[in-house]
Amino acid sequence: MSGENCIFCKIANGEIPSATLYEDEDFRVILDLGPASKGHALILPKKHYPDLYALPDELAAKAMVLAKKMITKLAGALGCEGYNVVQNNGALAGQTVFHFHIHLIPRYKDDGVGLGWKAGKLSDSDRDEILDKMKK
Ligand code: AMP
Ligand code: ZN
């Protein structure tokens, strides 16, 4: 999807109103309209990049620093007991809006938020194959 038809472009640039927690020249941080838990927020760059692969290194670095700043302040405000910082790339990985964003999901006792996976076991063949492919 191009930037012109992208809802997060419109939100990030203030064309569509949002519950904005923070804004600077590069990013807007908003409350998610379908929160996983109370205070679930999204970091949106103001420019359109579909995913992390496309995000310039400089913005990627700034986004992580901003995530740290936001969860530090939000944790105090919300009184949550933990945070998940989640970032989906690709439909198979759960991405539904193809404008890069970082989820900041506060965690509370017994909140029922379903993030996680069943741990498998790293096989010798997978380990060797991946290490070999990453050398190329
Ligand atoms: P993802 O599945 O990682 O692409 O996340 C997209 C997120 O955007 C979901 O958590 C949605 O609830 C949220 N979302 C979609 N549209 C809006 C909107 N207009 N304002 C705020 N959050 C939105
Ligand atoms: Zn966009």
Is residue 1 scored above 70 in pLDDT? no
- Cα dihedral value 93, 113, 69, 30, nearest 10: 80
- Give the pLDDT confidence of 104-128 residue by residue, as tens digits: 999 999 999 999 899 999 999 999 9
CA separation for the pair 54, 90 (Å, rounded): 12
Is residue 134 scored above 70 in pLDDT? yes
pLDDT band at 2 (very low <50, low <70, confident <90, very high): low
CA separation for the pair 30, 12 (Å, rounded): 9
Percent of the residues in the chain that have a pLDDT greater than 90, as a whole number: 96
Distance between alpha carbon 19 and the CA centroid of its chain, in Å? 17
pLDDT band at 6 (very low <50, low <70, confident <90, very high): very high
From ligand 1's centre to the CA of 7, what distance in Å?
9
Query: If we measure between CA atoms, which residue out of 90, 94, 92 comes closest to residue 36?
Result: 94
Burial class (CB in 10 A: 0-12, 13-18, 19+), 70: buried
Instruction: Select which of 40, 48, 101, 103 is catalytic.
Output: 101
Say what the pLDDT of residue 136 is: 82
DSSP strand E in 24-68: where?
27-31, 41-45
CB-based pocket (< 6 A), ligand 1: 7, 18, 30, 32-34, 88, 94-97
Active site residue 101: yes
Ligand 1, residue 87: give the atom nearest the CA: 3
Closest residue (by CA) to atom 12 of ligand 1?
34
- Give the pLDDT confidence of 53-98 residue by residue, as tens digits: 999 999 999 999 999 999 999 999 999 999 999 999 999 999 999 9
Is residue 36 scored above 80 in pLDDT? yes
